[in-house]
Amino acid sequence: MSDEVQMDQEVYDRLIGEGKSERIARAKAKAAAVRKSKIEEGATLGPKPAEEATKALEEFRSSRSGGGGVATKTAAPADGGGGGRLTPEERAARVSASLGNGGDSGSVGVPAASDHTHRLLALVPPAGIQQVQSKQQDKVYTWPHLLLVEFVALLAAGSLLLVASFFLDAPLGSLANVNEVPAINKAPWYFMGLQELLAYFHPAVAGITIVGAAVLLLMSLPYVDKNPSAKPENRKFANMAFTFFLAFWGILTIIGSFIRGAGYEWVWPWVQGLGFVL
């Protein structure tokens, strides 16, 4: 590197003496040297003083006000030190002031003389992008609280499944044969409600119309249920209706899975066995 920065030996020795690691001491010593040389050049370090920012703001305002921008005068006075929210223009002015250009480069936040290829498109208050809860809430840290709960749940579910898989074997019947319809012919359990419906209705009604309507109803539910309350006591009807919906499918599924035998006839499970394979 051509512009290798010299380090401030004095600072370096002091930091090493204090027991800092060599890497850190070197970095800090270099920073000290840079600071020193800047001061020698007459630059002021640290944040820009308030007057400078205010002046830049004034300049910014005057350069903008002619351009047909909307002049909003609702915010706190620019010279007030305390409180008050900044208008977007004021914030932009502060940004451009701290970037070291009072003038206008034609695009907010980018110094006129810069050859940066990217620019700030807009300064948007956080509330404009996402939901911000201004209310103080009872919260806990994700680590360790939530992550520990999740880990335990994961271990519990994983070991349950492992034990089940150790003792219960997945079924494997005889080779598929298109010409040999089995006596008991059933869909997977989650479609048994549907298959049970087919015992009562034509497939075009049971399979397409009823199921299609159920799916559409389910998807549109948040837009249909306009009740803003989530408390159970305020939504007795919704809870009842949904419970009926679940019970309807649950009962159909149980009938289809367990009370249907050969030829899809109604047979009690204690007469011919379950007739059900997972």
Partner 1 sequence: MPKLPKPPKPPSYSEVRGTVQDNVIWKSIFRPGSIYRKGYRDTSRDRALAAMNNVLYHLHPVKVKRHGLKLTYTYCLGGLSFFMFILLTITGIFLMFFYTPAAGAGAEIAYLNMRELSTTVTFGALVRNLHRWGAHAMVFLVFLHMARVFYHGAYKPPREFNWVVGVILLLLTLFLSFTGYLLPWDQLALWAVTVGTNIAGFSPVFGDQVSFVLLGGLEIGPETLLRWYVLHVLFVPFITVVFLAVHFWRIRKDGGISGPL
Of residues 171 through 210, those in contact with partner 1 by CB under 8 A are: 171-178, 180-182, 185-191, 194-195, 198, 202-204, 206-208
Q: What is the DSSP letter of 80?
A: -
Judged by beta carbon, residue 57 or residue 197, the one nearer partner 1 is: 197
* 120 touches partner 1 (CB under 8 A): no
* 265 touches partner 1 (CB under 8 A): no
**Considering only residues 117, 130, 134, 136, which one is a binding residue for partner 1 as defined by CB under 8 A?**
130
* 251 touches partner 1 (CB under 8 A): no
Please list every residue from 208 through 237 that binds partner 1, using CB under 8 A. Answer: 208, 215, 218-219, 221-223, 225, 227-232, 235
CA 247 distance to own-chain centroid:
33
Q: Taking Cα atoms as reference points, which of 268, 247, 250 lies closest to residue 259?
A: 268
* 164 touches partner 1 (CB under 8 A): yes
First to last CA, the chain: 69
Site stretch for partner 1 (CB under 8 A), options 29-37, 44-52, 109-117, 143-151: 143-151
95, 109 Cβ separation under 8 angstroms: yes
The CB-of-178 to partner 1 minimum distance in angstroms stands at: 7
* Gyration radius of the chain over CA positions: 36
* 57 touches partner 1 (CB under 8 A): no
Q: Taking Cα atoms as reference points, which of 35, 27, 2, 1 lies closest to residue 12?
A: 27
Which helix (DSSP H) or strand (DSSP E) does residue 123 occupy? none
60, 102 Cβ separation under 8 angstroms: yes
* Total residues at interface with partner 1 (CB under 8 A): 75
Residue 248 in tokens: 């309807």
* 168 touches partner 1 (CB under 8 A): yes
